[in-house]
Amino acid sequence: MLETKHAESILLGDINLHHPQWGGIYIAANQQVECLLRAIDNGGLKLATPPGAITWQQGTAKSIINLIIMDENLYQRLKRCSPKEEWALTLDHIPIQIQLDLDIKAQPNGKRYAIRKLNVDSFLNIIKQQL
């Protein structure tokens, strides 16, 4: 089970499972897909890949097997999730552009760690002794 309570998560990859939820109403579901669907539901996750968006193509064969799954907080900030054929380096898997509306807070310049004062040789000797 995926634990996402304390972290925002994006799962992405060549999931290689077929289901009408992302492939369209004429796609037969794989037997193994039920485990993935339970994990999505139980984890409070959302499928971000647009239904029917082709993510794999070889000759005339096309499929939606590369999926983007994310938690609800990130899904609410999703601006774009779409395959970009022009980014493909090979002729089969199509890269997916993900754009999120994120508020990034600048970190104040702190002087919490005095790295310049670190005696590197002494520090490395302590680590060697601990190992």
Domain ranges across the chain: 10-103
**Measured distance between the N- and C-terminal CA atoms of the chain, rounded to whole angstroms:** 34
Name the least confident of 31-35, 60-64, 106-110. Answer: 106-110
Name the least confident of 35-49, 97-111, 116-130. Answer: 97-111
The answer to whether residue 26 scores a pLDDT higher than 90 is no
What does pTM read for this prediction?
A: 0.70
> Dihedral of CA 71/42/65/25: which sign?
negative
pLDDT (0 to 100) of residue 24: 85
State both tokens at 105: 């807070």
As a CATH number, domain 10-103 is: 3.60.10.10
In the chain, count H helices and then E strands: 4, 7
pLDDT (0 to 100) of residue 6: 63
